[in-house]
Amino acid sequence: MKNFTKTLIAGALLSTAMLSTSATAEQKIAVVDVQAVVQSLPQVAEINQRINDEFKDQIQAVNSKQEEFNFLVQKLQRESATMSEAEQKKLQDQIIALRDELQQTSQPLQQNMQRRSNEERNKLLGLIKNAIDGIAAKENFDFVLNASAVPFAKPKHDISQQVQEQVSKIK
């Protein structure tokens, strides 16, 4: 009786393993390199240009302050030997004030530009996700994995090019 129970359990386990293997074999899996798709899209250059245009005036203001700061630092280095202590102190105070002003204007600018960039990137990732969903539905894929999460995939399973072409057509 004991041997019969062991044989029955072993048979059940073997049949379960065979069923799961055959179920896995029927699944279609694709991979997509989302990072490569994003980098190859023409919309990325348009987004960068749009963000630079949006913050153009603020960028120019920060750049001019930076040039003024650099000029004052170089002036202090060049002429410190011939300046009086009062002149040196005055120039150092100007440099410190300008440095503080630069930090107060450049940091929020960078944060705003980063926020806008993230907003646009998220829109682009939404378009990519929609393209992946469409291709997966059309070609009956059960799973679409990010290529960076897969150690190896045959090129025939990579749909990155299809996704890139589909998203590139969207304006």
Q: Does residue 18 surpass a pLDDT of 80?
A: no
In order of their start, the domains of the chain are 2-169 (3.30.910.20)
Q: Does residue 11 surpass a pLDDT of 50?
A: no
CA trace torsion 114, 118, 124, 128 (10° rounding): 130
Task: Collect all residues with Cβ–Cβ distance below 8 Å to 150 and sequence separation of at least 6.
Answer: 31
Tens-digit pLDDT profile for residues 139-153: 999 999 998 888 887
What's the whole-number mean pLDDT along residues 122-127? 94
- Average pLDDT, rounded, for the chain: 86
Backbone φ and ψ for 21, nearest 5 degrees, come out as -65, -45
Task: Collect all residues with Cβ–Cβ distance below 8 Å to 70 and sequence separation of at least 6.
Answer: none
What percent of the chain is modeled with pLDDT above 90? 64
d(C-alpha 129, C-alpha 110), whole Å: 28
Residues 142/28, Cβ–Cβ less than 8 Å: yes
Assign 55 to helix, strand or coil. Answer: coil
Which residue do the tokens 């379960």 mark?
A: 16
Tens-digit pLDDT profile for residues 100-119: 999 999 999 999 999 999 99
Q: Does residue 92 surpass a pLDDT of 50?
A: yes
Q: Does residue 10 surpass a pLDDT of 50?
A: no
Which pLDDT belongs to residue 148?
86
Which residue do the tokens 């980098």 mark?
A: 39
Q: Does residue 23 surpass a pLDDT of 60?
A: no
Tokens of 92: 């150092």
Q: Residue 157: how many CB atoms within 10 A of its CB?
A: 17
Which pLDDT belongs to residue 169?
87
Which pLDDT belongs to residue 154?
81
What percent of the chain is modeled with pLDDT above 70? 85
